[in-house]
Amino acid sequence: MKERERLNERRAITPVVSALILSAVVLTIGGVVWAFSQGAMTISSEDYAESVIEMTDTISERFIIEHVYYELDVVPELHVFVYNYGAVDIEVKVEVKGETYPDAEETWIEIPSKEMIPFPNIDLGTIPLSKEELNIRAYTRRGNNAYYRYLVP
């Protein structure tokens, strides 16, 4: 009888220990899930915000080819003036007769917002004929285009 009572007294410790263990497990797993979900959601929201900002910048681009003239000098050159009238800075290349300027793949001409940049003089290689029509395309790194049709005098 005494032995049974002693065992009953000892059994009282087990529920406390198991409750503590279970709580510790719940807290640990919960903490991991919490940390993971917080990290994942922070990354997701940052990615989303960045992609929305990038998309907003893309649709915010506004630019025109404002003026073009051809100078038959010692080296015949085409002068192209691109005006960025939008609210975001842009990076531009110009394409004339299938050739891209600047031709280096990673070289873009930066045009700050509300500014016009005279494009670096474009050497067409061959002298265009008088009355020849040049279709000029300016395009940005974000993929927007502006066109200009120039009739060589």
Contact residues for another protein, defined by CB under 8 A:
12, 15-16, 18-19, 22-23, 26-27, 30-31, 33-34, 37-38, 40-42, 44-46, 48-49, 52-53, 55-56, 59-60, 62-64, 66-67, 69, 79, 81, 83, 85, 114, 116
Q: Which is nearer to another protein, 60 or 100 (CB)?
A: 60
Q: Which is nearer to another protein, 21 or 127 (CB)?
A: 21
Q: Which is nearer to another protein, 58 or 100 (CB)?
A: 58
CB of 22 to another protein, least distance (A): 5
Q: Which is nearer to another protein, 49 or 127 (CB)?
A: 49
The 3-state secondary structure of the chain reads CHHHHHHHHHHCHHHHHHHHHHHHHHHHHHHHHHHHHHHHHHHHHHHHHHHHHHHHHHHHCCEEEEEEEEECCCCCEEEEEEEECCCCCEEEEEEECCEEECCCCCCCEEECCCEEEECCCECCCCCCCCCCEEEEEEEECCCCEEEEEEECC
CB of 30 to another protein, least distance (A): 3
CA–CA separation, 78 vs 119, rounded Å?
9
CB of 106 to another protein, least distance (A): 28
- Which pairing describes strands 133-140 and 90-96: parallel, antiparallel, or unpaired? antiparallel
Q: Which is nearer to another protein, 26 or 127 (CB)?
A: 26
CB of 3 to another protein, least distance (A): 21
